[in-house]
Amino acid sequence: MVRMGRRIAAPEQSHQITWTHKYLTEHRPVSLPAPAPGCYVNWLGLQTEADLFPVPELAGSARPHMPYPDDGVYGTHIEYASALMAVEQRAKPDRFVAVELGAGWGPWVVASGVAAKRLGVRDIRLVGVEAHAGRCQAMARQFQRNGLGDSGKVLEAAAWPRNERVRFGVVDPHADQGGAATKETTSTDYRGMDAAFVEVDGLDIPTICEGLGQIDYMHWDIQGAELSIARTFIDYLNSHVRYVFIGTHSMAIHGNLIELFYQNRWVQLHQAPPQYHYNRDIPSLEGMNTNDGEIFFANLDLMVRTAS
C-alpha cells in the first residue's frame, strides 16, 4: 500500500522477513565442511555436485552467504525457510518425513533431512520422485554424500493424478529444468520445443506416500501438473500433510491453488505469483512461464487435531 507518497511494507511482507531469517539463522552451521571433489558446499553445509548447474567455477567452492533473495544456485530464502520450519514444527520429536515431487537431484528433501539430522532426529524418512533417470542417479548420490543414504528413497516416476504410464519429455539435465509428464502423443512439449519422450510410471500421491503416515513437509515442482494433483488428492493432503511448498507454473494454476487451499482451511504463509511472457505461439500458459511462482501453506487444522 502507499501512504503520503511513501511505500509501506505490507504486514505479510514484514512478517515474512522475520520468520525466514529466524529459521535460516537457527540452522546455519558454525563452520562449513570442505567441498568434496567435484562438489560445492552451500551455506547450509550441503555437498552438491557442481556439474548439475550451469554456474562457472562452482566446483571446489564454499558459498557461506545467506540466500537473500536466493543463493544463485538452489532457490530462494523462502524455499529454505519453508523446509526448515517444517523440520522444527515436525509432528514427532524423533521423526521427520519429507516428500519432494519433481525432485531433480533432491535439493529440498536433502536440505530438510540434513537439518533434521543435526537436531538429533533419529527416524528420518525422505522420498524423492523424479522422472529423469540421470537425475534419479544424482539424487541417490546426493543422499549418500550428505549422510542420508539410509533415510532416502528415490522413485523414478512422475507425480500424476492416477497410477498409469505417461510420457516424459527428456531434456538436458544441466541446462533445462523444464521436463514434464504428459499423456499427449506429440513430438513437442508444452513449450512447443522438440523433445525426446520416454515412457515412465505416473504415480499418485497415496502410492508415493504409502507407509509414511503423517508427512511433515512436501515440496512440489511438477511443471503444470500441480493443480490437477492437488484437486484430486486434497482430502489426502488435508489428513496427512502438515506443510506444502508448491512451485507454480502459470497465473491460472497459481490462483486456483490458492483458492483450493483456502477452501480447505489451510493457512497461507507465503505466495509470489509466477512471471510470464505472453506469447500466442507457445501452446500452453505453462510454457510461457519465465519464473516459477511460489506458495507455502500450513495445515493448522491437522496440527491441532494431532496435538490434542
- State the pLDDT at residue 176: 57
In this structure, is residue 3 part of a structural domain? no
The strand pairing partners of 168, in sequence order, are: 181, 198
* 8 A C-beta contact, residue 188 and residue 194: yes
Expressed as residue numbers, the domain containing 290 is: 75-307
- State the pLDDT at residue 3: 31
Give the mean pLDDT of the chain.
88
Pairwise pLDDT comparison (30 vs 196), residue with the higher score: 30
Give the domain CATH number at 88. 3.40.50.150
In this structure, is residue 21 part of a structural domain? no
In this structure, is residue 1 part of a structural domain? no
Beta-carbon contacts of 182 under 8 Å, excluding residues fewer than 6 positions away, are 166, 167, 168, 169, 189, 190, 197
In this structure, is residue 5 part of a structural domain? no
Give the count of domains, the chain: 1
Q: Which of 111-115, 180-184, 250-254, 285-289 has the lowest average pLDDT?
A: 285-289
Model pTM above 0.85: yes
In this structure, is residue 41 part of a structural domain? no
Question: Phi and psi of 98, rounded to 5°?
Answer: -140, 145
User: At 12, is the pLDDT very low, low, confident or very high (cuts 50, 70, 90)?
Assistant: very low
In this structure, is residue 159 part of a structural domain? yes
In this structure, is residue 57 part of a structural domain? no
Q: Does residue 172 carry a pLDDT above 70?
A: no
Mean pLDDT to the nearest integer, 55-72:
92
Q: What is the pLDDT of residues 110-139, one digit of tens each?
A: 999 999 999 999 999 999 999 999 999 999
* 8 A C-beta contact, residue 275 and residue 263: no
Q: Does residue 285 carry a pLDDT above 80?
A: no
In this structure, is residue 37 part of a structural domain? no
- State the pLDDT at residue 190: 65
Q: Which of 25-29, 34-38, 226-230, 273-277 has the lowest average pLDDT?
A: 273-277
Q: What is the pLDDT of residues 50-60, one digit of tens each?
A: 999 988 899 99
